[in-house]
């Protein structure tokens, strides 16, 4: 199994960033029912005003190849479109888990 962790820093005022993060989270949480290889999805919206990053997702897929399948799936592309116009930075780590 592979754990896919992505964090986003968004542009805009605090209210805009929170609204975009919430809409993005809702779309991401619907993906396990739409993308067969996606085994789980967890999304967190930052509550600490002292930190710069706004939202983090943790997804689990069977293989590293499935990360690409997930990334290219139309439902994921649509979800990413929500955050795209507001994205300031993105960081990602993929690693194997037992």
Per-residue pLDDT at 5 exceeds 90: yes
12: left (phi over 0), alpha (psi -120 to 50) or beta: left
Q: pLDDT over 90 for what percent of the chain?
A: 97
Can you tell me the distance from the alpha carbon of 16 to that of 58, in angstroms, rounded to the nearest whole number? 23
Question: pTM of the prediction?
Answer: 0.93
Q: What is the pLDDT of residues 14-23, one digit of tens each?
A: 999 999 999 9
Q: What is the pLDDT of residue 98?
A: 82
Per-residue pLDDT at 63 exceeds 90: yes
Q: What is the pLDDT of residue 80?
A: 97
Dihedrals φ, ψ of 13, to 5°?
Answer: -75, 170
Is 91 exposed, middle or buried (CB count within 10 Å of its CB: 0-12, 13-18, 19+)? exposed
């Amino acid at each position: 199994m592979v754990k896919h962790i992505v964090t986003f820093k968004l542009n805009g005022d605090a209210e805009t960033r929170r609204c975009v993060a919430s809409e993005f989270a809702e779309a991401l949480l619907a993906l396990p029912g739409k993308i067969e290889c996606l085994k789980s999805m967890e999304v967190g919206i930052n509550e600490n005003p002292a930190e710069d990053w706004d939202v983090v997702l943790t997804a689990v897929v069977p293989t590293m190849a499935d990360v690409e399948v997930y990334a290219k799936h139309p439902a994921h592309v649509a979800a990413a479109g929500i955050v795209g116009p507001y994205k300031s930075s993105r960081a990602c780590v993929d690693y194997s888990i037992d």
